[in-house]
Amino acid sequence: MEDEPQSKRRLLQQKHTAAGIHAPLRVFHPSSSPRREDADRSYFQSYSHIGIHEQMIKDRVRTDAYRDAIMRHQNLISDKVVMDVGCGTGILSIFCAQAGARRVYAVEASEIAIQAEIVMRDNNLSDKVIILHGRVEDIEIEEKVDVIISEWMGYILLYESMLTSVIFARDKWLKPGGLILPSHATIYMAPFTYDEMYESTINFWRNVYGINMSAMIPHAKLCAFEEPAIETIGGENILTWPSEIKYLDCYTVAARDLESITTEYRFRSLVQAPLHGFAFWFDVEFNGPAVVPSESHSQLTDGSSSFNSSNGSSHRKKRVKSDQVIVLSTSPEEAPTHWQQTLLYLYEPIEVKQDQIIEGSVTLAQCKENSRFMNIQLQYRFCTSSTGGQSFVKESVLR
């Protein structure tokens, strides 16, 4: 019986059959190296699998945030030229057309582009929305664009790393001073406790229909905790104020900035609880091009005055965002999204006391084997008042 990952967003290596619909499409043939092509092909095939699109559109938090952001920036979109990077079924392109865009170039490498083309025709938008079936790196258009819109975010923001395609599009096709939606993105991290999950996956084996199956526990732990899990937790599971792992400005970020991200963190536990692991999530903001991000955000004090930053990047625990800014958040505190949260479990829970310091560093790095995979290396240390505590490492791969 199958052991299929629950998450639809993950690579589903299902072969897609183009449905025999022949629409006038511009197909661009990728010209890059064959190796990269292969990796891309399976990725793009998985994206033409329709269940994913259904799931993404049904994620109202996501789709509504985009629609609101497009309507909010209508003055910058109306009568302008838009590029939708990775348009999927074309829903964002339609929103832009609705907001008055003069033309939308909707770029999509997977076979879903064929359906997107028909969707535009069925909704009488074929003259405004031009579907370009190909990779954004390969397409050619005759004008620069005023706006780039894309839903490029993956788990922990960067898994599947479609941001590099957005960066490519920005550098090649965006007019100076153009708008990028979303404009900014932040990765957060916090330790969590999740007794229910631990009970159901691990302690489950202690009593199965009255039978002691503890022998399964080591295996069950390996099975459940070796790789990062995509699960939904709530604010009550989070033990501390979150720490910001990375803040990205889509107007300025470069592809090389995404290859490896290392940040030190320091948490002070707000409660006494068993710590089961570390949770990661992200949010994205939809700002205009003029906003200078470092000044638009203030820092919350959280009682951990001893917090120090040693790698030079600013450590904001939690940014206050004005009501003016539209934020799509995948935080455990907010309504669940299809991104859920990414949980890195430790093999053994650790009992932390109130005010206990948990510190260390985390590295998110593009996997060398497949650039859409992500290596996560977590170093952590539990400090007691007297000692510095022993430092441990946990390595895992999001695949």
Partner 1 sequence: MAKDVIEFRRSEEFEDVIEEEEDEEEEQIEQWDDWQSDKEDSSADFLCLFCSSRFGSVEVLFDHCRCKHFFDFHSIVREWSLDFYGSFKLINYVRSQVSENKCWCCGLEFQCSRDLQNHLHPAPSFDKDGKFLWEDDHYLKPFMGDDPLLHSFGGDEDEEDDPMTINKEEIMRELVVHEKLPRLCNGGHSILNGDASVSNTFTETEDKTECIHILGNNFEGKPTDDIIFKPCDEKHKDGQLRESFANVTVKEIRNVNEKYFGAYGSFGIHREMLSDKARMDAYQGALLNNPSLINQATVLDVGCGTGILSLFAAQGGASKVIAVEASKKMAAVATQIASDNGLLSDNTTKGREKCPGVINVVQCMVEELDKFIHVLPSSVDVIVSEWMGYCLLYESMLSSVLYARDRWLKPGGAILPDTATIFGAGFGRGGTSIPFWENVYGFDMSCIGKEVMEDSSSAPIVDTIDSREIVTETAAIHSFDLVTMKLDDMDFTSSFELKLRTESIDGITTARTRSCYGMVLWFETGFTSRFCKEMPTNLSTSPYSPKTHWSQTILMFREPIVLSSSDITASMTGAVGTEECPAVAIRSRISIARSSAHRSIDVSLEPQAISSDGRKRSWPVQIFNL
Active site residues: 151, 160
At 42, phi and psi to the nearest 5?
-65, -35
Say if residues 250 and 182 touch (Cβ distance below 8 Å): yes
Question: How many angstroms from the chain centroid is the CA of residue 327?
Answer: 14
Question: How many angstroms from the chain centroid is the CA of residue 119?
Answer: 27
Residues 239-268 that bind partner 1 (CB under 8 A): none
Which of 39, 61, 271, 367 is close enough to bind partner 1 by CB under 8 A? 367
Enter the tokens of residue 170.
């920005």
- To 10 degrees, what angle do helices 34-48 and 50-58 make? 60
- To 10 degrees, what angle do helices 91-98 and 112-122 make? 30
Which of 123, 203, 260, 272 is close enough to bind partner 1 by CB under 8 A? 123
Give min distance, CB of 217 to partner 1, in A. Answer: 10
Question: How many angstroms from the chain centroid is the CA of residue 189?
Answer: 13
Q: Considering the rule CB under 8 A, would residue 127 count as an interface residue with partner 1?
A: no
Say if residues 80 and 147 touch (Cβ distance below 8 Å): yes
Count residues contacting partner 1 (CB under 8 A)? 64
Rounded distance between C-alpha atoms, residue 95 and residue 268, angstroms: 43
Looking at 78-86, 146-154, 222-230, 329-337, which segment touches partner 1 (CB under 8 A)? 222-230
Kindly write out the interface string for residues 2-31 of this chain, putting x where it contacts partner 1 by CB under 8 A and - elsewhere: xx------------xx-xxx----------
Nearer of residues 274 and 293 to partner 1, judged by Cβ: 274
Residues 6+ apart with CB under 8 A from 295: none
CB atoms within 10 A of CB 149: 30
Give min distance, CB of 383 to partner 1, in A. Answer: 15
Q: Considering the rule CB under 8 A, would residue 368 count as an interface residue with partner 1?
A: yes
Nearer of residues 232 and 370 to partner 1, judged by Cβ: 370
Residues that bind partner 1 (CB under 8 A): 1-3, 16-17, 19-21, 35, 50-51, 53-54, 57-58, 63, 67, 89, 91, 94-95, 112, 115, 118-119, 122-123, 201, 204-205, 208-209, 211-216, 218-224, 226, 346-348, 367-370, 373, 375, 390-397, 399
